[in-house]
Structure 1
Amino acid sequence: MVFFQSHGVEEKEFFHWMPLTEYQFPLHFHRAYELIFVKKGKLLVTVNHVEYTLESNQLIFIFSNHIHDMKIIGESEVTIILFSPELIGDFFTEYKGSSPSNPVIKLDSLPNLETLTSIYKQKSFLYQLCGELIDQTEFIKIESSTKTRLLHRILLFVDENYQSNCSLKDVAKHLRYDYPYLSKLFVQMTNMTFTDYLNNYRISQACYLLKNSGFSISEVATQCGYNQLRTFHRNFRAIIGKSPKQYRENSY
């Protein structure tokens, strides 16, 4: 999703949020912290291979560079908040390289995010959540393995190249790794093939464009790396369960 790309790579303070309905996003990571709040319905989130099912008024706190994905279940309303580590610098410094054993927080509701217009209001809201997280859970040191770092590099390659040629052979050539080794590692680390992941990533990008742009369906397909419109339609229906046209019509 355009919303996620490269967020937090630059070291400057930012606070962005957006609502989502009927959406899913495959494995990704970014330097920014991410909060996902379920206003209505259910959401399935996987963080570092641990699966969480969130229900109404629950929020999950995802740390910097943690690999995660999400899938909205049924008719649900979700709000995503991305913010730079610099906004909670004290917390970031103390817990960098750690992971909460329970990252799910129960809230009565989110504040009106439109009123958080100053950096001071944003920090106040975020530090309150940090305090609740510290009170409720322990933090575990995370040792980044060679395999995890390699998976990061593969996911980053997809993020930067999904609009054009982007095969595992391209990845292997770029990273200078043996193709069979990368293929086996990717399945081992994600429980899906690279091709399945790439298609899910491209279709998730297509969903965003169908909802938030004026591009035609054929233009969306091209923007998301599909040279054949028929292939785009087939993959879209297989992953989303409806045609791109139906998806766009249901978004209004």
Structure 2
Amino acid sequence: MEQDIVRKDMMHNNPIIIIKFHHKKTEEFTMHKHEFFEFVYIEKGEAAHTVNGRHYTLKRGDFFVLDVDSSHKYYGDFSLINCLVSPEFIDKTLKDKKKFIDLINNYLIKFSYEQLSESPANKMFYDRDKSILALFNRMYEEYKAKKPGYQEIMRSILVELIIHMLRNVYSYYSKTKSLIIRNCIQEIDRNFDTRFTLKSFCEAHHYNSSYICRKFAKEMGMSFSDYLQTVRVNEAQRLLVNSEKKISEIAQSCGYNDMKQFLTVFQKYTGMTPSAYQKQGVRAEQ
């Protein structure tokens, strides 16, 4: 099948472009590829995403980077931040490079590829603490304002973004060498705010739940349930201190529809109630 190619000259001689847009469900991108790297962050909604023949479901908070010449298309109702970057924008020595690995081996970034078991390009990851979103937004504001020296600032933010992405990615790869459990961790991190269970994960991927349960505990040093609750409680702690949401709203945002269960789990893992933790956090900031 012939594909559309988004060429560098369509960037109007800009080595970097960053845009925000909303994609309606009634619209569908044709399969296409780019002559530049593409950094993407999903701000709202959900989308079906096909990359080089592999299918993913994207949701709010997901981010990824695509190698040059990667084929992909979207379908769904979602909003995203899209950053298109010519490799030479980061450094002139990267001209004509097509792999994300070439970027991370550059002297400006100096992130050892040996720290990763495989390239993170063309794979989806979740921004749990919103640090990746903050960097995308900083780049977007610089690009929109176009003040003197904006490209230099965008370059430094982009390098910071790449390193933060690699830290985020490395956290998955460093926890376990097993692809199955790594996928499981990613699913938890992306779906902890839903009624996500070991059973739903195993059914979706056709795994034996008893096998995954044992393997998860062996590789992670804790049960599937403990890891899931830890992720949920960590997010609740962040929201209690950094948001204006009510405790009941935070409970729902973290996957707890039963307030009593949330209070019990939170106290078990932190040793205090959500309200006490919130007050402690407020006092620490004063």
Query: Which structure has the larger Rg over C-alpha atoms?
Result: 2
TM-score normalised by L of structure 2: 0.43
TM-score (norm 1): 0.49
Identify, as 1 or 2, the structure richer in strand: 1
Considering fraction of residues, name the structure with more helix. Answer: 2
> Looking at both structures, which has the greater relative contact order when contacts are Cα pairs under 8 Å and sequence separation is at least 6?
1
